A = this chain, B = another copy of it.
């Protein structure tokens, strides 16, 4: 097989200069219809695939947006991504995803790597980053959007909800329904800052009502039905007086419901349950679980719009730099 054809080859085949071939293929500038057709035919016959590396180097424009997420294993971040993709779909930009595994050192490496490709913008989850990451991002000179969380000081732009507030809101719902013995099941906090903030907001609201958490369980790794079930069983075995459990994730909460189904506990009669995120999963359950919508799709969409609006070539540096969405709490049938 011959060496990969370059623009030069295409131009020669079409009998025009490289520049004309370049223009013709990019559909831009003034190229006569006949010339364009000839160039396109040549490109097609040669199986020419443009080399964007060269193109990007020459034009100093890269139509890529870096997206850095802690994980893709729950449906949470893919939904944010789908908001991003949607907003980028009728733009020249394309998302490139990197995953950190909730590890700030790894995040630093991923961000460094993304920046080395000189993307048009960067979207990343959370406001907590290593010192080096923050510095790189500050000097990157591209729109940087931190998403999901607004409890903190963003580097550049930011879209999300207040997780402290989300926790406090659910606490209010729970307290209003008369629960006094309240348990919590959540991820080990240092890993997941947003879950930690929800718990903090939740506890603060309890305190203000003269209450405190009756008991809690922590876990590491991904949220699963099985873990939710198991930890619910364990928590209840140890603290049978608990009448309501707040989970840091809907998946865990659904696991709690599975425990109740298996043990014939009535919800919310014997045990009330509340989760977080408003995942699609909740729709098929035998009972509507209490949850708080985190507006993931919307967050992704707004973030992408911020990147689009914040690029050099746009004068639109005016747009909001911080967008605070309001978490929506629904009590369902489980409180």
Is there an interface contact between A117 and B53, defined as CB atoms closer than 8 Å? yes
Q: Which residues of A36-86 have CB atoms within 8 Å of chain B's CB atoms?
A: 47, 49-54, 56-57, 62, 72-73, 75, 78-79, 81-82, 85
In Å, the complex CA distance between A54 and B55 comes to 10
Is there an interface contact between B52 and A117, defined as CB atoms closer than 8 Å? yes
| A49–chain B nearest beta-carbon distance, Å | 5
Please tell me which stretch of A9-17, A277-285, A323-331 contacts chain B, meaning at least 4 of its Cβ atoms lie within 8 angstroms of it: A277-285
Which residues on B sit within 8 Å (CB–CB) of A1?
A: 139, 141
A98-140 contact mask (Cβ, 8 Å, vs B): 1 or 0:
0100000000000011011110000000000000000110011
Which residues on B sit within 8 Å (CB–CB) of A280?
A: 222, 224-226
Total count of chain A residues near the partner, CB < 8 A = 53
Q: Is the C-beta of A255 less than 8 angstroms from some C-beta in chain B?
A: yes
| A334–chain B nearest beta-carbon distance, Å | 15
In Å, the complex CA distance between A139 and B44 comes to 13
Is there an interface contact between A258 and B229, defined as CB atoms closer than 8 Å? no
Which residues on B sit within 8 Å (CB–CB) of A73?
A: 75, 78-79, 82
Q: Is the C-beta of A262 less than 8 angstroms from some C-beta in chain B?
A: yes
Give A74's nearest chain B residue, CB to CB.
B75
Q: Is the C-beta of A196 less than 8 angstroms from some C-beta in chain B?
A: no
With A96-B96, A118-B53, A225-B285 as known contacts, state yes or no: A47 contacts B139, CB within 8 Å. Answer: yes
Contact among B79, B113, B227, B284 for A226, CB-based, below 8 A: B284
| A4, A47, A62, A117: most-surrounded residue (chain B CB, <10 A) | A117
Q: Is the C-beta of A94 less than 8 angstroms from some C-beta in chain B?
A: yes
| A34–chain B nearest beta-carbon distance, Å | 24
Q: Is the C-beta of A261 less than 8 angstroms from some C-beta in chain B?
A: yes
| A53, A85, A254, A255: most-surrounded residue (chain B CB, <10 A) | A53
Is there an interface contact between B284 and A255, defined as CB atoms closer than 8 Å? yes
| A235–chain B nearest beta-carbon distance, Å | 15
| A250–chain B nearest beta-carbon distance, Å | 12
Among all A-B residue pairs, the 5 with the closest Cβ atoms: A225-B284, A226-B283, A226-B284, A52-B116, A72-B78
Known: A47-B135, A53-B56, A94-B113. 11 other contacts (CB 8 A): A49-B115, A72-B78, A73-B75, A75-B75, A97-B97, A224-B280, A224-B283, A225-B281, A226-B283, A227-B284, A258-B285
**A residues near B, CB below 8 A?**
1, 4, 47, 49-54, 56-57, 62, 72-73, 75, 78-79, 81-82, 85, 94, 96-97, 99, 112-113, 115-118, 135-136, 139-141, 222, 224-229, 254-255, 258, 261-262, 280-281, 283-286
